[in-house]
Amino acid sequence: MTDLYTKAQALFPYTQSMRRDFHLHPELGFQEVRTSGIIAKELRELGLEVSTGIAKTGVVALIEGAKPGPVVMLRFDIDALPIHEETGAEYASQTPGLMHACGHDGHAAIGLTVAKLLNAHRQDFAGTAKLVFQPAEEGMGGAETMVREGVMDGPAPARTLGLHIWNGKPLGWIGIAAGPVMAGASSFKVVISGKGGHGAIPHLSIDPVLAAAQIVTALQSIVSRNVDAQKAAVVTVASIHGGDAFNVIPPQVELTGTIRFFDTAVGELVHRRFEEIIHSISTAMQCQAQNEISEITPPVINDTETTASVLRAAGVVFPAETPDTQPYVTMGSEDFAFFQQKARGTYFFVGSNNEARGLNYGHHHPKFDFDEEVLVRASALMAASALEVLKDA
């Protein structure tokens, strides 16, 4: 295991060429046909047992160790975003309007590199590494669909591991924390219906704009007045639409937004208060409200034992470094949580920005790009973590 970093370094030209190829040809969630075709071909060339077509474009490969033992699942997401790339990189997207702006091109390349590393280390472990290349992570339900289609069965993993290359931190930083690391998320759409009419004669109308304004304001009392000040939650109204003339009261106003939380009980409280506020204010304002709340993901909560295994792996691969074990809490969400609900596991972060080279734009920015050295570090750490978790599972 000590030489995994050296081996990952030797594979860098391969990893980089795969990453750049995926970057040139981004594909949106559930449409990653080219990407998953290449992934399956590369894995088959290693002689692995490969399944395709799970959640449309997902790919699963099994790497059997020398002896039977537990199964650890390693997850890599592969989808791109509807963003027009502005990096000017030589490997910039060739598809206008689509871009790998979150680094999932890197994750796919890391997954292929981890496959090579673990395949070369078959003699050193008991059990099975189950590599899962997941489509549609970007709010489209890829993980949930994979779980529904049986990715957690045959063979069922005892543990799960996932990672994100992280431009919020510099190359050299590693974040490995137990507990909550990414938020649970839901989206909402509220339609407030009143009665349209002339803007100069409001008493003959029922004004949904006034109701919407009070609702937007009152929703902000949930986090400030209902949630324990030492716990985290977010309620954001992100869009508000209604009316199109200065002198007409519209019949309807539509609000959309998102709710974020770490603690399930806090999530339930926020959702309950959300419904109460929407309905009671609408009623008080003589309007009617219809709301749809859709769960996006539960929170990502890292398992203590698996996290300890990943930390031991980091100690072996990067003996001179000290990983950051403070929960790198972000209110961003990650559907890796759906896999964790079936098999406890850990999701860790590998710092990837390089300010001196201008590679420090945030995820989902049209100029997002990262220092490719992170591909080596993340591949070595993921492979070592798999071996360490298999020892303990």
Site for Ni ion in 255-274 (CB under 5 A): none
- How far is residue 369's CA from residue 264's CA, in Å, rounded to a whole number? 34
Q: Which stretch binds Ni ion (CB under 5 A): 41-49, 99-107, 299-307, 352-360?
A: 99-107
In the complex with Ni ion, the residue whose CB is nearer, 80 or 147, is 80
Residue that has been written with the tokens 């519209």 in this structure: 250
Residue nearest Ni ion, Cβ-based = 102
Handedness of CA 82, 85, 91, 95 (dihedral sign): positive
Q: Please check whether residue 188 is in contact with residue 257, taking contact to mean a CB–CB distance below 8 angstroms.
A: yes
Nearest-approach distance from CB 267 to Ni ion, in angstroms: 22
343 is an interface residue for Ni ion by CB under 5 A? no
Interface with Ni ion: number of residues (CB under 5 A) = 1
Which segments of the chain does DSSP mark as H helices, in order? 4-10, 12-24, 33-45, 104-120, 142-148, 208-221, 264-284, 304-317, 336-340, 373-392
Q: HSE of 377 in the Cβ direction (CA atoms, 13 Å)?
A: 26
Q: Strand, helix or coil at 3? A: coil
In the complex with Ni ion, the residue whose CB is nearer, 128 or 167, is 167
In the complex with Ni ion, the residue whose CB is nearer, 198 or 364, is 364
In the complex with Ni ion, the residue whose CB is nearer, 71 or 146, is 146
Site for Ni ion in 176-205 (CB under 5 A): none
Among 11, 50, 73, 102, interactor with Ni ion by CB under 5 A: 102
Nearest-approach distance from CB 143 to Ni ion, in angstroms: 12
Q: Which amino acid is at 36?
A: S
What mask, x for binding Ni ion by CB under 5 A, covers residues 52 to 91?
A: ----------------------------------------
Structure tokens given for 153:
């069965």
Q: Strand, helix or coil at 120? A: helix
Q: Which stretch binds Ni ion (CB under 5 A): 59-67, 95-103, 168-176, 304-312?
A: 95-103
Nearest-approach distance from CB 158 to Ni ion, in angstroms: 25
Q: What is the CA radius of gyration of the chain?
A: 23
Exactly one of 137, 138, 303, 372 is catalytic; which is it? 137
Q: Which stretch binds Ni ion (CB under 5 A): 49-57, 102-110, 182-190, 370-378?
A: 102-110
Q: Which stretch binds Ni ion (CB under 5 A): 101-109, 150-158, 305-313, 341-349?
A: 101-109
| Of 38, 16, 101, residue with least CA distance to 361 | 101
Long-range contacts of residues 220-224, Cβ cutoff 8 Å, at least 24 apart: 221/277, 222/270, 222/273, 222/274, 222/277, 223/270
Exactly one of 79, 207, 263, 303 is catalytic; which is it? 79
In the complex with Ni ion, the residue whose CB is nearer, 102 or 343, is 102
Judging by DSSP bridges, how do beta strands 126-134 and 58-64 pair with one another?
Answer: antiparallel
Q: Strand, helix or coil at 23? A: helix
Judging by DSSP bridges, how do beta strands 174-175 and 159-170 pair with one another?
Answer: unpaired
Residue 137 among the catalytic residues? yes
Nearest-approach distance from CB 104 to Ni ion, in angstroms: 6
Enumerate the active-site residues: 79, 137
Question: Given the rule CB under 5 A, which residues bind Ni ion?
Answer: 102
